[in-house]
Structure formats: structure tokens, C-alpha cells
């Protein structure tokens, strides 16, 4: 079986994932050159990777390398690094969001920030939204598209405010396919939303901040949240995107089992005591 077909069959199969894995493998084979593939060279390459990338960035690279090693019919493997968890990840407040949107005058740049905020989609999915992905048939605007990382189909609802701005943007623009046409490709690069946020001084706020904020504020219906943001694994949502997992756990424990904390004392009544 050809390498590309093997990667597609043994990963999510999403085109972006396959492209990423093949790029990682080309980087490795270029580094390897004429040296023998051995445990020693893998240890050396692993050290080289760790000197250049953080653990969370290494995760997909290691997955790609291990698929390549399987394809080569060898028992050699690269150790997966443990995931890094941010102890106190940032959430964006409504006032911060309003301030950012309020100071962006370019319609395209303002729209991409609005779509990140509302849809909870990854930047790679936001920049690749097509006119055909927009559905207004039921009185609300929904982005219905196959996500690039996992291949899942999202059902991302937009607020009325964002939907109105989107409709105006489409009516005034000349695009025929992608909402955000690219200069060197069919659409903007996935890093472009980060550039927009930096340009407008959204300090400490990234596309992931919007995903994390939406996931944290969402209610207990994980299925609808996964549909909104294009997630496929609830564990990913709970581990990486919900900031208040402990609070929710504690609340549900106390409802089911009993009090785990001292109750708050009754507040003093004004004018007494």
C-alpha cells in the first residue's frame, strides 16, 4: 500500500491531517538522509524535535512518525510526549470581545473574528468556509461543513448580529466560492486569524480562546457543543477546552452524593449585628 493511502486509512482520513502527516514524514526522511533507520537515530531525532517544539506541538508529529514506522514494517516507535495542560487558561469576556470587534474597521478582518467567536470552529475551518457551507433555510444562519482536522460535519449556529454582518459582507463582496479568498491559494492561510488578532492588539487571545470560552459557557449538552465546534471526542472537550471542569464535577457530585464543602455562612442582614 502506498504511504499516502496507508496514512489515510490509519488516521482520521481528513485531507488536512493526511497532508500534515506526510509533511512531517518528509521532514523526517530528509533529516535521516542516508543513515540507517534504527533506535539510535530515532532517539537522536526525538531529541532534535524536543529542542524545537513544545509537547502539544510534538503530539501530531509523533503520531505521523509512528504511522510511518508501521508502514515500514518495523517495531520501532517514538514515545508520545505527555500533553501540557494550561493551569488557568484565559477566557474572553463579552466586554473584551466587544472592544476587539469595535476597533476593527476592515469588514473581512472583523468578520473572521466574529466567526471565531460564534462558531467555535478551528481557524483552519473558519478560513475555508465556502458560500455553499452557509444555510439560512430554517430562519437562522448555520455553517454546515466538513472540518479539516477530523472530517466531522459541524453545525455551527451564528448570532443574529454576526449573521447580518455576514450577509452584508457577502452582498458587497465579489467572492464566488470562499468567504476569505487567498492571495496565494483558494483561501486564506489558517494562521491569518492569529495575525488579525495580533494586528488589533488582542493580547493573550487566540482562536483557541474563543473555542475554550464557548465550551466553558456551554451547558451540559455535550453533543450539541461538539456539533457547534466540530469536535469528535468528548474527552478532548472536557480535558482541553472546559476551564470549569472541576466546578461542574463538584456541583454534580454534591447533587448526587452530598456536600463536599462547608456551606457558606448566611450573609449578615444589613442594619443588624
Task: Kindly give the interhelix angle for 207-217 and 107-119, rounded to the nearest 10 degrees.
Answer: 40
Residues 118 and 244 in one domain: yes
Q: Which of 17, 36, 71 finishes a domain? A: 71
Q: With 0-12 CB in 10 A as exposed, 13-18 as middle and 19+ as buried, what is 126?
A: buried
Q: Does 170 reside within a domain?
A: yes
Residues 112 and 206 in one domain: yes
Q: Tally the domains of the chain.
A: 2
Q: Does 116 reside within a domain?
A: yes
Reading phi first (left if > 0) and then psi (alpha if -120 to 50, else beta), residue 18 is in alpha
Q: Give the pLDDT band of residue 85 (cuts 50, 70, 90).
A: low
Residues 59 and 100 in one domain: no
Chain mean pLDDT for the chain: 88
pLDDT mean over 172-179: 91
State which H helix or E strand residue 40 sits in: helix 39-50
Q: Does 83 reside within a domain?
A: no
Query: For position 121, which CATH number holds?
Result: 1.10.443.10
Domain that holds residue 163: 94-250
Q: Does 263 reside within a domain?
A: no
pTM over 0.75: no
Residues 8 and 140 in one domain: no
pLDDT of residue 255: 82
Amino acid at each position: 500500500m502506498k504511504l499516502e493511502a496507508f496514512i489515510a486509512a490509519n488516521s482520521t482520513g481528513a485531507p488536512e491531517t493526511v497532508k500534515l502527516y506526510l509533511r512531517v514524514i518528509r521532514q523526517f526522511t530528509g533529516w535521516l538522509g542516508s543513515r540507517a533507520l534504527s533506535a539510535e537515530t530515532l532517539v537522536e531525532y526525538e531529541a532534535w524535535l524536543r529542542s524545537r517544539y513544545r509537547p502539544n506541538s510534538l503530539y501530531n508529529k509523533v503520531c505521523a512518525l509512528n504511522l510511518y514506522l508501521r508502514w515500514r514494517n518495523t517495531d520501532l516507535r517514538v514515545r508520545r510526549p505527555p500533553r501540557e495542560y494550561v493551569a488557568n487558561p484565559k477566557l474572553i469576556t463579552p466586554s473584551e470581545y466587544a472592544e476587539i470587534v469595535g476597533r476593527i474597521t476592515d469588514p473581512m478582518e472583523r468578520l473572521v473574528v466574529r466567526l471565531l467567536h460564534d462558531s467555535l470552529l478551528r481557524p483552519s475551518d473558519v478560513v475555508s468556509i465556502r458560500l455553499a457551507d452557509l444555510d439560512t433555510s430554517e430562519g437562522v444562519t448555520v455553517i454546515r461543513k466538513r472540518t479539516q482536522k477530523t472530517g466531522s460535519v459541524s453545525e455551527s449556529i451564528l448570532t443574529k448580529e454576526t449573521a447580518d454582518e455576514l450577509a452584508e459582507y457577502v452582498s458587497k463582496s465579489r467572492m464566488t466560492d470562499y468567504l476569505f479568498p487567498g492571495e496565494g491559494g483558494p483561501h486564506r492561510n489558517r494562521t491569518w486569524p492569529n495575525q488579525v488578532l495580533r494586528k488589533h492588539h488582542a493580547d493573550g487571545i487566540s482562536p483557541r480562546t474563543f473555542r475554550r470560552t464557548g465550551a466553558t459557557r456551554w451547558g451540559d449538552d455535550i453533543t450539541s457543543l461538539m456539533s457547534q465546534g466540530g469536535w469528535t471526542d468528548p474527552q478532548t472537550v472536557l480535558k482541553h477546552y472546559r476551564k470549569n471542569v472541576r466546578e461542574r464535577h463538584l456541583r454534580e457530585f454534591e447533587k448526587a452524593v452530598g456536600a463536599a464543602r462547608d456551606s457558606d455562612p448566611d450573609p449578615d442582614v444589613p442594619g443588624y449585628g
